[in-house]
Amino acid sequence: MTTRFHRGISVTAMAIAMAAQPVWAQADADNAGDDKVDFRLEEIIVSAQRRSESLQDVPVTVTAFGATEIEQAKIQQIDDIVTRTPGLSFDAFPSSQARLYIRGIGSSDRGAAGDPSAAVFLDDIYLGRPAAIAFDAFDVERIEVMKGPQGTLYGRNVVGGAINVITKKPDLDEASGALSATVGNYNRLDGAGYANIPLSEGKSALRISGSYRSHGGYVENLYLDQDVEDQDTLSGRLQFFAMPSEALSFLLTVDATRDRALAPANHVLELDTSNPLSNFYSQNFDPDVTYGSDPGYQNRDTYGIRAEISNDFSFGTLSFLGSYRDLDYSFRYDFDGGNPDPDSPGFNAVAVSGGNDEKAKMSSQEVRLSALPESKVSWVVGLYHYAHDVDRSDILELDSFLIAPIPLTEKFVADASLDSYAAFGDATVPVGERWSVFAGLRYSRDKKTQRAYNTDSMAPLRADEFYDVTAEKSFDDWTYRMGVEFEATPDHMFYASISRGYKSGGFNDTASNAVGAATPFEAETAVQYEIGQKSTFLDGSLIWNNTLYYMDYSNLQTGQTVDGKSITSNAGKAHIKGFETQLTANVSEGLYLSFAYAYTDAIFDEFVENEVDYSGNRISRSPKHKLTVSPSYTTNLPGLGADLTFAVDYRYASKIFDDNSNLPPEFRDPTHFVDARIILDGFSNGMSLSIWGKNLTDERTRTFQGGFLGANFGAFSPPMTFGATLGLKF
């Protein structure tokens, strides 16, 4: 049995690393003879506008994580990014299917004919299925979180925002490599490494990267006498880069991930006393224990191929970006977290289980022509195509003598296809020495087809009838952005913008009847008004950025779990208003502080569903307040020639609702998470040692919950974890 480390470590701290990493550079050559120290923060380069720019020069709200921060803070998976980004929230059911919300906009629709409202891109490639977000953030250059509608610059149009993960590319000039190994509680064993190999006298190079992540189960199943919620993930990436001439470049990438885990540990939480079945459940609020009758599984295999070709001409750069991705995903688990033994404390007379099977094939092609870096006017025009075919099953298994004398199985099957085309353009034009205007326009057309049926079921448990329906519909829209930026001084930039985002409609694949399966939900749109300021103070040692925004949200697609079915419908209107601030500073030699806060007020203006008026309620899964604070201190150890860093990360999120009714029990209390690390870097010819801990106060918040058959079922976040990582660079 896995050794357990229970709560009892208390850390009083302030929290989390954001957009820049501290650099305490010594004086340059001009100051070699004096004791002056340069406290300027490192410049962060981002590609949020499809060109390399300083973060401080981009008229877009972006949170960026650099390679050093990703490595030191052990940012490995999508939820690590979410917890460190104000204005971004995360939900998963189960943990291998991410549901992202940016500035209150997100989607719980994981159906075969649905789309995320907040998207993830891997090296500019759209990951169109929630289960395809399976990358491991190893050998990564940076991660950019772009907030607000995207589309005039990025391939697939999204409404709420986008996360773009940019991997490190092969280096033509220098052979290099790195290895790291991690051990920790819950039998954690991780390893990662890369090798960069120049070829052909600086004309080409290979980069090979790989990682392995594993830990034992976080939750003890007392009924089965084993632990669940474990991890066993193997990821690899091979890149070949060639530059036959100064104008022509080619990059080919192949990546793959194999993910295996036991199922999440569900619990019976609050009971619905209005339902007679509530009398036949045993409640369990202990996040460390479950009693499920089956350990379940989460299996995922995904791979992708990406090719990018660019050529510089006298008038601009012509680029082609193409990709293919394959996903094979399956999970099963015990929804109620109980068992059929009357003597067990987890006895449930109603046994509910099930899961999903999904196979998906995704491809995209993008051709774009953009301005050369030295051009005074920055512009890009392009054509984009994305397609996927998804075969998805949603399975429910019900075993209870109270309902039927034999176990019953219901299976919703959806076979869906999407064909999406777009044309886009965007430009930034200087007007005088300090002013610039920017504008972009995009036309998108999406055609969706779905065959949905439940005729393979033993009985229509969640549906009203058996059906087999094929439906098709096309959606199209024009989206845009426009704005102005003003450079008051080289250190202070102000901007104002209007942007419109669109997400196509789709079909429900767990509908109650044939009419519901054939009736599409409509496309949603959002118009965002934003003003922002980006400033650098004290000779570059302090950066303070602020953003105010207001968003009109129409026909928003909102999803709820109704009687065990995930149903997406359109609300009429909503508004979202917010404020975000981010400050980073080198306070003194070795002392660094990062602070970020987001206020998000997301409210339904018009929303009536099933004759219930939700107008005035908060949009689900959107905390009003989110705060991250991260102090760190670095000192040099002359005897070792190494740097010693102490860092603490604190993050806070206010209460959220899991249901649009805003009524208990689908409610989550405010959360407080604390991480910390001690890093010894640069000793013994490139070695580093990190002693780290995550969730040191053992905060166990609910990560998912939903009501069905008389009970509220839910799961909890991981417990406190800690370990040590040894790294070597050569």
Confidence class of residue 85 from pLDDT cuts 50, 70 and 90?
confident
Bigger pLDDT: 314 or 15?
Answer: 314
User: In this model, does residue 80 exceed pLDDT 60?
Assistant: yes
Query: What pLDDT, on the 0 to 100 scale, is given for residue 718?
Result: 93
Closest CA to 192 of 16, 55, 74, 300: 74
Question: Which residue range forms the structural domain that includes residue 620?
Answer: 29-729
Give the pLDDT confidence of 687-702 residue by residue, as tens digits. 999 999 999 999 999 8
SS (H, E, C) 595-641: EEEEEEEEEEEECEECCEECCCCECCCCCCEEEEEEEEEEEEECCCC
User: In this model, does residue 530 exceed pLDDT 90?
Assistant: yes
Q: Rounded to two decimals, what is the model's pTM?
A: 0.89
Contact 96, 110 (CB under 8 A): no
CB 248: neighbour CB atoms within 10 A? 12
Query: What pLDDT, on the 0 to 100 scale, is given for residue 32?
Result: 41
Q: Which letter, b or e, does each residue of 39-76 get, where b requires 16 or more Cβ atoms within 10 Å of its Cβ? A: bbbbebebbbbbbebebbebbbbbbbbbbbbbbbbbbb
Mean pLDDT of 40-66: 80
Query: What pLDDT, on the 0 to 100 scale, is given for residue 5?
Result: 35
Mean pLDDT of 35-63: 76
For the chain, give the mean pLDDT.
Answer: 88
Residue owning tokens 């209390």: 669
Residue 205 corresponds to which amino acid?
A
Contact 411, 466 (CB under 8 A): no
Give the pLDDT confidence of 227-261 residue by residue, as tens digits. 999 999 999 999 999 999 999 999 999 999 999 99
2 domain-assigned: no
Contact 313, 375 (CB under 8 A): no
User: In this model, does residue 110 exceed pLDDT 90?
Assistant: no
SS3 state of residue 655: coil
Bigger pLDDT: 71 or 716?
Answer: 716
Share of the chain above pLDDT 70, in %: 92
Tokens of 434: 């300090």
10 domain-assigned: no
Tokens of 703: 């990560």
Cα–Cα distance between 208 and 179 in angstroms, integer?
12
Distances (CA, A) of 355 to 116, 301, 453, 491, 653: 20, 17, 17, 53, 30
End-to-end CA distance of the chain: 38
Residue 650: partners with Cβ closer than 8 Å, 6 or more residues away: 13, 14, 15, 16, 627, 628, 629, 630, 672, 673, 674
Contact 532, 548 (CB under 8 A): yes
Burial of 708 (0-12, 13-18, 19+ CB in 10 A): buried
Tokens of 276: 């007679």
- Whether residue 718 is preceded by a cis peptide bond, meaning omega within 30 degrees of 0, is no
Cα–Cα distance between 99 and 106 in angstroms, integer?
7
- Mean pLDDT: which of 123-132, 203-212, 558-567 is highest? 203-212
Closest CA to 617 of 667, 580, 551: 667
6 domain-assigned: no
547 domain-assigned: yes
Mean pLDDT of 527-556: 94
Distances (CA, A) of 176 to 171, 194, 195, 685, 689: 9, 8, 6, 14, 19
Phi, psi of 488 (to 5 degrees): -65, -45
Q: Identify the bridge partners of residue 220 per DSSP, sorted by sequence position.
A: 227, 289
Cα–Cα distance between 163 and 335 in angstroms, integer?
30
User: In this model, does residue 36 exceed pLDDT 80?
Assistant: no
18 domain-assigned: no
Confidence class of residue 137 from pLDDT cuts 50, 70 and 90?
confident
Q: Identify the bridge partners of residue 304 per DSSP, sorted by sequence position.
A: 255, 325
Q: H or E stretch including 79?
A: helix 78-83
Query: What pLDDT, on the 0 to 100 scale, is given for residue 136?
Result: 74
| DSSP-derived secondary structure for 264-331 | P--EEEEE-TTSGGGGG------TTEE--S---EEEEEEEEEEEEEEEE-SS-EEEEEEEEEEEEEEE
Residue 73 corresponds to which amino acid?
A
296 domain-assigned: yes
Bigger pLDDT: 71 or 516?
Answer: 516
User: In this model, does residue 317 exceed pLDDT 80?
Assistant: yes
Confidence class of residue 624 from pLDDT cuts 50, 70 and 90?
very high
Cα–Cα distance between 519 and 615 in angstroms, integer?
24
Q: Which letter, b or e, does each residue of 571-587 get, where b requires 16 or more Cβ atoms within 10 Å of its Cβ? A: beebbbbbebbbbbbbe
CATH of the domain at 76: 2.40.170.20
Q: H or E stretch including 352?
A: strand 351-370
5 domain-assigned: no
User: In this model, does residue 154 exceed pLDDT 70?
Assistant: no
CB 393: neighbour CB atoms within 10 A? 19
Cα–Cα distance between 91 and 101 in angstroms, integer?
8
Distances (CA, A) of 321 to 21, 53, 145, 524: 31, 21, 21, 28
User: In this model, does residue 10 exceed pLDDT 50?
Assistant: no
598 domain-assigned: yes
User: In this model, does residue 201 exceed pLDDT 90?
Assistant: no
Closest CA to 413 of 448, 363, 447, 463: 463
Give the pLDDT confidence of 389-409 residue by residue, as tens digits. 999 999 999 999 988 899 999
- Which range (48-57, 429-438, 678-687) has the least confidence? 48-57
Give the start-end residues of each E strand in 373-467.
378-399, 408-431, 435-453
Give the number of domains in the chain: 1
Closest CA to 120 of 92, 91, 160: 160
Distances (CA, A) of 653 to 362, 627, 645: 35, 7, 27
Burial of 376 (0-12, 13-18, 19+ CB in 10 A): exposed
